[in-house]
Amino acid sequence: MNIDLKKIIDVAVLTPMSYLYGAGVFIRNKMFDWKILKSVQFNVPVISVGNIAVGGTGKTPHTEYIISQLCDTYHIGMISRGYKRQTSGYVQATPYTTPFDIGDEPYQIYQKFGKSIKVAVCEKRVEGIRKLLATDPSINLILLDDAFQHRYVKPSLSIVLTEYNRPFFNDRLLPAGRLRESAQGIKDRADFIIVTKCPDDMKPVDFMLCKKQLDLYPYHKLFFSKFKYQQLSPIFRDDYTYVPSLEMLTERDTILAVTGIANPLPLIRFLKSYKATVKIMQFPDHHSFTRNDIDDIEKTFNSLEGHQKFLMTTEKDAVRIANNPYIPAAMKKHFFFQPIIVEFINKDADFNAEIKHALLEKRQ
């Protein structure tokens, strides 16, 4: 498709559809503002973590970071929709739960924090919160995953994420862009804004320019974060022989990166920063790997040349792969995932102190 045809489609089809979509979102938000549609406020504080773009801003690692900072002080209950799960209604995570029951992201969080928090999924968040509180009345903080547009719950604190390389001020409404709603939603309803996936070499002028372009109100709290990559971890712990070190790999070694997330580019760039040859197999976000998919991955892996060969994926993909019945035994010892943690990098704002202070104010 040449560039002129793309412009014609954009102007004639996508842009008008974006205006229609935006009008619908505007009317819906006004119905909540005018209390035609009702928002429920709970007696326990509720933190909403979300964004206004479709996928790829790093919600799960930031949700995990928030849990890690607050779980010693609060008894946390987390509610998610459970995107692409194979169940419906309210489902609470147990030691027997699989990613197919609650979705890969809630499952990942439950595997890490299940001893410290309660995790449940429900399409109707109000119903989910009520059932979770009825199950465990000692819960004194609710965390809502990907809920900025879910206005049936009135949060005590709303945290919105935007990606550094594709911030909302450089984007457009669906379907011409990736935005679920206009930037005015952030100005009207967000408390904390986090610019995620920032580069390591950000300079003071970069912070200032980004802050200016965000054009926030004085009362908004603005933070900048980046991902820090951890040591590789085996997906199948009973089958691996040793954990490879990316620093020790050479041009003779090969990595097959298998991803099913919205934005795999940061991981690919990270892997390619080392000497090993990197090949890529990319699948859609939240992809459920079929038998044919696994066969294709196995064939591709076996066809690769390399002194040492490894299969690598993201932590979110790993929870689905670990529970996949089609993985051949011979592949398991080669399969690793790349853990990440969140680091806040702006020196003039302490996220941990600010979120704890905000919650204390809500309790008074």
Q: Each residue of 22-72: pLDDT tens digit?
A: 999 999 999 999 999 999 999 999 999 999 998 778 999 999 999 999 999
* 159-172: average pLDDT: 94
| CA-closest candidate to residue 361, choices 191, 171, 112, 145 | 191
In a domain, 324, yes or no: yes
Give me the pLDDT at residue 6, please. 66
Q: Do 205 and 253 belong together in one domain? A: no
Please name the residues in contact with 166: beta carbons below 8 A apart, sequence gap of 6 or more: 53, 56, 178
In a domain, 17, yes or no: no
Q: How many CB atoms lie within 10 A of CB 58?
A: 22
Q: Do 168 and 247 belong together in one domain? A: no
Q: Domain count of the chain?
A: 2
Whether the pLDDT of residue 361 is over 90: the answer is no
Domain containing 277 equals 231-338
Q: Do 56 and 188 belong together in one domain? A: yes
In a domain, 117, yes or no: no
pLDDT category at 3 given cuts 50, 70, 90 is low
Give me the pLDDT at residue 14, please. 87
Q: Do 186 and 308 belong together in one domain? A: no
Q: Do 50 and 170 belong together in one domain? A: yes
Q: How many CB atoms lie within 10 A of CB 33?
A: 13
Give me the pLDDT at residue 237, please. 85
Q: What are the C-alpha distances in Å from 256 to residues 52, 98, 266?
A: 32, 26, 15
Global pTM?
0.92
Q: Do 57 and 188 belong together in one domain? A: yes
pLDDT category at 11 given cuts 50, 70, 90 is low
Q: Can you spell out the DSSP letters for 66-77?
A: HHHHHTTTS-EE
In a domain, 214, yes or no: yes
Planar angle of CA 56, 151, 98, nearest 5 degrees: 55
Q: Do 327 and 359 belong together in one domain? A: no
Q: What is the pLDDT of residues 189-238, one digit of tens each?
A: 999 999 999 998 899 999 999 999 999 999 999 999 999 999 999 999 88
Q: Do 70 and 181 belong together in one domain? A: yes
Give me the pLDDT at residue 238, please. 82
Whether the pLDDT of residue 148 is over 90: the answer is yes
Q: What is the mean pLDDT of the chain?
A: 93
Measured distance CA(359)–CA(364) in Å, rounded: 9
